Amino acid sequence: MNNSKPKLKGTKKLFIQLGTCSRTLCHILNREFGHPMETEELAADPLAGGIMQRGHQCGMLWGAALAVGAESYRSCGACSPAIGKAITATQSVMESFSNRTKCINCRDITQTDMRSKWDTVKWFFSGRFISCFTLADKWAPEAVCSAVEGLTQPVDSTHSPVSCATEVARKMGATEEEMVMVAGFAGGMGLSGNACGALGAAIWMNTLTWCREQNNSNIIPDQAAGKKGKVKTPFFNPYANSTVMAFYRATDSKILCHEITGQRFKSIEDHTEYIKNDGCKNLINALANSKVSSFKFSKSA
């Protein structure tokens, strides 16, 4: 595909159908790249609201970064170069988003604490929730363009790039494609120093396990295709919750990358060197150990 601004139709309707900003943007970019990934997109649900409604990076960014990572892997065909490309392209997507919104965090955009039931009720009944649909509608074409542009940029690294998020995914048994899908989460997403990308990767990996279990039980239908059936969203799945608890225990409840690491990474090489020198080793291991292999849900759960 070229990098001309696509004319996307039905973004608001799609957002309503899919239910979360993170899944919607992941779906849109995957669709534009020509490779829908239904289960992987669904597993992005808990990243909405800035990581399980905690107000950090907007879910649209998490979803877009996953799709960018998948396309990076397809274009490179190998894990190592694809990691660097995914990080660079994620930075491009984040710059595009920031140019439109002047911020990247959900709480700053919505002016709402999504973990407060009262705040959420006010946000909904005041009609302010419509602004998220409008933002997705306006930014989605720009997200596609910035992703394509970012994927064509040279990678700022002379060594084999490493991502903290990819290391977590690898230790959790991810495929190479899954490892690269989360690569852009590195260093608080695009090396920005915000909420931990390794946490985002672990939540997504464990939620992916949950989704596959539910798919095997024929509980989750293809909402985008309009198929009927019982819908069971992974937004509040227990795997994601247990992942966050393990993370907080390992970081003494810190969540921002720059606070956990004590630094802001200036380049992919900086981040690579940090991880190769056992930076965040204990945290990466703690998140990897949060991996779940099986958990049986009853159909009435």
Sorted by where each begins, the domain ranges of the chain are: 11-288
Contact (CB, 8 A) for 63 and 19: no
- 24 in Cβ contact with 63 (< 8 Å): yes
Give the Cα separation of 258 and 193 in Å (integer). Answer: 5
* pLDDT the model gives residue 250: 97
Please, are residues 294 and 213 in contact by the beta-carbon 8 Å criterion? yes
Say yes or no to pLDDT of 36 above 90: yes
As a residue count, the chain comes to 301
pLDDT in tens, 179-208: 999 999 999 999 999 999 999 999 999 999
pTM above 0.85, yes or no: yes
Q: Which residues contact 62 (CB under 8 A, 6 or more apart)?
A: 22, 44, 47, 48, 51, 185, 189, 200
> What is the percentage of the chain residues whose pLDDT exceeds 90?
77
What is the pLDDT, as a whole number, of residue 226?
45
pLDDT above 60 (res 178): yes
Is the per-residue pLDDT at 1 higher than 80?
no
Cα separation, 282 vs 251, whole angstroms: 9
**Is the pLDDT at 2 greater than 50, yes or no?**
no
Taking the C-alpha atoms of residue 31 and residue 25, their distance in angstroms, rounded to an integer, is: 10
pLDDT digit string, tens, across residues 202-223: 999 999 999 998 876 544 444 4
- Which has the higher per-residue pLDDT, 253 or 80? 253
Is it the case that residue 129 has pLDDT exceeding 90?
no
Model pLDDT, residue 9 = 79
CA angle at residue 154 from 151 to 157, to 5 degrees?
120
Q: Is 231 a residue whose pLDDT tops 60?
A: no
